[in-house]
């Protein structure tokens, strides 16, 4: 018998070590936050920004889940 340790990111992908999982999570978070920021910058008025936030609320919630992936502390014995 052999012990196998994998790290699962919030998108369900399995990674062979903590650093690979962390890198993957950071890339996903960075892409999502940049996409949302780019869209937000296109809003030219307060009223449009309020509408934008309301229309993209699910993306903000998803962004928080992605952030949680990168804020998990590494295990004591990670490679």
Per-residue pLDDT of the chain (79 residues; tens, 9 = 90+): 988 889 999 899 999 999 999 999 999 999 999 999 999 999 999 999 999 999 999 999 999 989 988 887 877 765 5
pLDDT at position 3: 86
Q: Tell me what pLDDT residue 75 has.
A: 78
Q: Which of 67, 78, 77, 79 is nearest to 9 (CA)?
A: 67
| Residue ranges making up the domain that contains 54 | 26-73
Residue 31 included in any domain? yes
Give the whole-angstrom CA distance, residue 24 versus residue 17. 11
pTM of the model as a whole: 0.78
14 touches 20 (CB < 8 A): no
54 falls within a domain? yes
Burial class (CB in 10 A: 0-12, 13-18, 19+), 13: middle
Instruction: Say what the pLDDT of residue 72 is.
Output: 77
Is residue 60 a part of any domain in this protein?
Answer: yes
Give CA–CA dist 67/78, Å, rounded.
20
């Amino acid at each position: 018998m052999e012990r196998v340790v994998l790290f699962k990111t919030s998108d369900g992908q399995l990674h062979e070590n903590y650093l690979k999982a962390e890198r993957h999570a950071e890339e996903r978070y960075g892409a999502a936050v940049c996409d949302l920021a780019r869209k937000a910058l296109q809003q030219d008025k307060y009223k449009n920004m309020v509408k934008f936030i309301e229309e993209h609320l699910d993306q903000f919630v998803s962004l928080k889940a992605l952030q949680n992936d990168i804020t998990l502390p590494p295990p004591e014995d990670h490679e």
